[in-house]
Amino acid sequence: MRQGLKAPPFPAQGLSVVLFGVPDMGKVCAEKHVPSYLQHVDQLRAAGVDKVVCLAVAKPEAIQAWGAKVGIDGVKVIAAPLARA
């Protein structure tokens, strides 16, 4: 972790979580990767998964707008602004 930055507590402690990442907010991620998870959210929940989280390499403001545009429902979208794709 970069000097001077603190990691926030992970809010899913004790939960079953599926975490997937996308390297950017491009067409392939929006049309292939994310929909494949969205199609299976109900099955994941039925299997005991408490949260499905998408980690994207982007600034928080950009990723929220992208998530709304792509129509991500049932998946928490979080940004990794300091990551490199």
* Active site positions, annotated: 29
Vertex 61 angle, CA 5 and 42, to 5°: 100
Chain centre distance of CA 34 = 9
What are residue 35's phi and psi, to 5 degrees? -60, -30
d(CA 68, CA 56) in angstroms, rounded, equals 14
